[in-house]
Structure 1
Amino acid sequence: MNVQICIEPVEHGSSTVGKHKFVGDAIYTYIHSKTETIEEPRPKCVSIRIKVVPLFNLREVLNKKGSKLFECRAASYRKSYISNVLQEALLEESFENLSLNREKSILCVEEGAYPNHQQEVTVTAREVLLRKCGQTEPLPFEKCYPNSVLQHCQKIGEGVYGEVFLFRRPTGGGTSVIKVIPIEGSPIVNGERQKKFEEILSEITIAMELSDLRTNARNRTSCYSELRKVTCVRGKYPDRLIELWELWEESRGSDNDHPEIFDEDQLYVVLELANGGNDMESFVFKNAQQAYALVTQIACALAVGESQLQFEHRDLHWGNVLISNADDNNTTTFTLDGKEITLDTYGIQVAIIDFTLSRINLGGDCIYNDLALDPDQFTASGDYQFELYRLMQQQNGNNWQHYEPYTNILWLNYIIDKAITSVRYRKQTSKVHAKYIRHLKELKSEVLCYKSAKALVIDKFLH
Structure 2
Amino acid sequence: MSDCYWQPMLDVSPAQEVFTPKKHKDTGLPVTGREKVLQQCEQTNPIPFTECISPAMLNKCVKIGEGVYGEVFRTSNRRQSVALKIIPIEGDFEVNDEPQKTFDEILPEIVISRELSYLSEGDVNYSNNYIGVNNVSCVQGRYPETLLTQWDKYDSRKGSENDRPDIFDDEQLYIVFEFADGGQDLESFEFNNLQQAISIFQQTAGALAVAEKELEFEHRDLHWGNVLIRSTKQDHVIFYLDDQEYRIASHGLEVSIIDFTLSRLQKDECTIFCDLAADPTLFDGAGDYQFQIYRNMKKKTSINNWEPYEPHTNVLWLHYLADKLINSKTYQDSDTKAHKSALATLRSFYRHLLSHSSAEQVVVESELLDL
Cα separation, 2, equivalents of 1:175 and 1:232: 21
State the one-letter code of the partner of 1:138: P
Report the 3-state secondary structure (helix = DSSP H, G, I; strand = E; otherwise coil) of the residue aligned with 1:120: coil
What TM-score do the two structures reach when normalised by structure 1?
0.74
- Once the two structures are superposed, the pairs formed by residues 40-439 of structure 1 within 5 Å of their partners are 79-83=3-7, 87-88=9-10, 120-169=28-77, 172-327=78-233, 330-397=235-302, 398-439=304-345
Deviation at 1:432, TM superposition (A): 2.1
Report the 3-state secondary structure (helix = DSSP H, G, I; strand = E; otherwise coil) of the residue aligned with 2:31: strand
Report the 3-state secondary structure (helix = DSSP H, G, I; strand = E; otherwise coil) of the residue aligned with 1:123: coil
* Contact 1:130–1:137 (CA under 8 A) maintained in structure 2: yes
Deviation at 1:146, TM superposition (A): 4.4
Q: Deviations for 1:147-171, whole angstroms, at most 9, x for unmatched residues?
A: 44311110101111111000113xx
Report the 3-state secondary structure (helix = DSSP H, G, I; strand = E; otherwise coil) of the residue aligned with 1:254: coil
Report the 3-state secondary structure (helix = DSSP H, G, I; strand = E; otherwise coil) of the residue aligned with 1:444: helix
> Quick check: which one's strand share is greater?
1
State the one-letter code of the partner of 1:388: I
Cα separation, 2, equivalents of 1:138 and 1:146: 16
What TM-score do the two structures reach when normalised by structure 2?
0.92
Report the 3-state secondary structure (helix = DSSP H, G, I; strand = E; otherwise coil) of the residue aligned with 1:270: strand
Cα separation, 2, equivalents of 1:140 and 1:158: 22
Cα separation, 1, equivalents of 2:157 and 2:325: 29
Cα separation, 1, equivalents of 2:180 and 2:195: 25
Report the 3-state secondary structure (helix = DSSP H, G, I; strand = E; otherwise coil) of the residue aligned with 1:81: strand
Equivalent in the alignment of 1:12? none
State the one-letter code of the partner of 1:379: D
Cα separation, 2, equivalents of 1:224 and 1:370: 23
Q: How many pairs align?
A: 355
* Contact 2:38–2:44 (CA under 8 A) maintained in structure 1: yes
Deviation at 1:456, TM superposition (A): 1.4
* Contact 2:33–2:104 (CA under 8 A) maintained in structure 1: yes
Cα separation, 2, equivalents of 1:133 and 1:462: 39
* Contact 1:320–1:354 (CA under 8 A) maintained in structure 2: yes
Deviation at 1:282, TM superposition (A): 0.6
* Contact 1:309–1:360 (CA under 8 A) maintained in structure 2: yes
Identity of aligned residues (%): 45
Structure 1 unaligned regions, length at least 5: 1-77, 91-115
* Contact 1:189–1:257 (CA under 8 A) maintained in structure 2: yes
Deviation at 1:374, TM superposition (A): 0.8
Q: Which has the higher contact order (CA 8 A, sep 6+)?
A: 2
CA 1:206 to 1:443, structure 2 compared with 1: closer, same or farther past 3 Å?
A: same
State the one-letter code of the partner of 2:300: Q
Equivalent in the alignment of 1:46? none
Cα separation, 2, equivalents of 1:127 and 1:236: 22
Q: CA RMSD in A?
A: 1.8
Deviation at 1:239, TM superposition (A): 1.3
CA 1:324 to 1:454, structure 2 compared with 1: closer, same or farther past 3 Å?
A: same
Q: Deviations for 1:10-53, whole angstroms, at most 9, x for unmatched residues?
A: xxxxxxxxxxxxxxxxxxxxxxxxxxxxxxxxxxxxxxxxxxxx
Deviation at 1:400, TM superposition (A): 0.4
Report the 3-state secondary structure (helix = DSSP H, G, I; strand = E; otherwise coil) of the residue aligned with 1:305: helix
Structure 2 unaligned regions, length at least 5: 13-24
> Quick check: which one's helix share is greater?
2
Report the 3-state secondary structure (helix = DSSP H, G, I; strand = E; otherwise coil) of the residue aligned with 1:319: coil
Equivalent in the alignment of 2:19? none
Report the 3-state secondary structure (helix = DSSP H, G, I; strand = E; otherwise coil) of the residue aligned with 2:3: coil
State the one-letter code of the partner of 2:263: S
Report the 3-state secondary structure (helix = DSSP H, G, I; strand = E; otherwise coil) of the residue aligned with 1:290: helix
